[in-house]
Structures are given as structure tokens and as C-alpha cells.
Amino acid sequence: MDFDELLIRFFGTSDMSTLQEDQILAGVERLRLQFGLESDAGRRFAIWCLLYMLGAAPDLDVAFKDEADREAARDFMDMADEEDDED
């Protein structure tokens, strides 16, 4: 799932800086709903990653039943946090 595609689908734009706080909150709620309904593992992981980047991801033990998925999520968290440290 393409990152820009996710942003456009749930926020109506690929440029988050153009959104008001209420629009971001509404998009996060749509993401959370879709995360709970999503059955495709790849799309579910992509949605979780975006939720993580927005500070709204569910805990790993709640989000992923499979340990390999939780480990992949931990790896993503580490990479995302390294990027934040470099900025």
C-alpha cells in the first residue's frame, strides 16, 4: 500500500501540513476503524505504521497476534525513531 495513497484515502490529501487539527483527528479515527476491520496483513501493517507515525497506534500486543508481525512493527518503530533523532 502506497503511503500517499493512504494519506489521500483517509485524510483527503497527501500534504498533512494543509490540514486542520479536527481534520487530522477525523482521519485518525477513520484509520483506526479501518485497522480494526482490515483482514489483509500487509494493509493492516501499513495502516498501523501510519497510526504509529501519528502517535495513535494501538499497542503491539493488541494490534498483532503473530510474534513475527510484532517484531516487524518493533523494527519499524526503531527506524522511525532513528529518523526523528536525526532531524
Amino acid residing at 10: F
What is d(CA 79, CA 4) in angstroms, rounded to the nearest whole number?
19
pTM of the model: 0.89
pLDDT digits (tens, 9 = 90+) for 7-57: 999 999 999 999 999 999 999 999 999 999 999 999 999 999 999 999 999
What is d(CA 86, CA 73) in angstroms, rounded to the nearest whole number?
20
pLDDT digits (tens, 9 = 90+) for 52-62: 999 999 999 99
Contact indicator for 73, 45 with CB cutoff of 8 Å? yes
